[in-house]
């Protein structure tokens, strides 16, 4: 993992020009977690971010809110709830509470079922069942 330090020679965008430049989603092999990579244009004022993961039936299975991130390169893990229901869509929205809102970015992905536990034959490997 690369640690990001602010670079003073970068041009920082005003709120109305701040956008999400990259959105990536990579499921972990356990089928329960999602690694999210997100990049924003370098900003003058810290934005807010809303993220959600929707399954094939339109149900929200994960969400996150990020208030005023320190950096414009973010990497974090989201936890996916419920039974697998491919394909999934990750949507990220960037906005300012008192100002402009950028167009949301989306990326579609599939989650592979985890391999069966060799001792018990349980394919969930401790994944909680849907209620």
Contacts of residue 15, defined as CB under 8 A and 6 or more positions apart, other chains included, come to 43, 44, 45, 47, 96, 99, 100
pLDDT higher at 128 or 112: 112
Cβ–Cβ < 8 Å for 124, 116: no
Cβ–Cβ < 8 Å for 49, 93: yes
Range of the domain at 52: 15-109
Is the pLDDT at 103 greater than 70? The verdict is yes
Q: Is 121 within a domain?
A: no
Q: Is 6 within a domain?
A: no
Number of domains in the chain: 1
Dig out the tokens for 122 from the structure.
Answer: 């349980």
Q: Residue 10: what pLDDT?
A: 84
State the pTM of this model. Answer: 0.82
pLDDT in tens, 5-37: 555 678 999 999 999 999 999 999 999 999 999
Q: Residue 131: what pLDDT?
A: 33
Is the pLDDT at 117 greater than 60? The verdict is yes
pLDDT in tens, 35-91: 999 999 999 999 999 999 999 999 999 999 999 999 999 999 999 999 999 999 999
Q: Is 70 within a domain?
A: yes
**Residue 37 is part of a domain; what is its CATH number?**
2.60.40.10
Q: Residue 129: what pLDDT?
A: 43
The SS3 of residue 16 is helix
Q: Is 19 within a domain?
A: yes
């Amino acid at each position: 993992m690369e640690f990001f330090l602010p670079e003073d020679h970068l041009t920082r965008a005003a709120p109305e020009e701040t956008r999400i430049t990259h959105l990536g989603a990579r499921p972990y092999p356990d089928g329960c977690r999602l690694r999210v990579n997100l990049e924003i244009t370098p900003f003058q004022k810290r934005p807010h971010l809303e993220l959600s993961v929707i399954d094939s039936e339109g149900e929200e299975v994960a969400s996150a809110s990020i208030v005023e991130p320190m950096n414009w390169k973010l990497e974090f893990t989201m936890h996916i709830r419920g039974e697998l229901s491919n394909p999934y869509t990750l949507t990220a929205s960037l906005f300012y509470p008192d100002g402009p809102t950028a167009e949301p970015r989306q990326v579609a992905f599939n989650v592979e079922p985890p391999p069966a536990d060799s001792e018990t034959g349980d394919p969930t490997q401790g994944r909680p069942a849907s209620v």
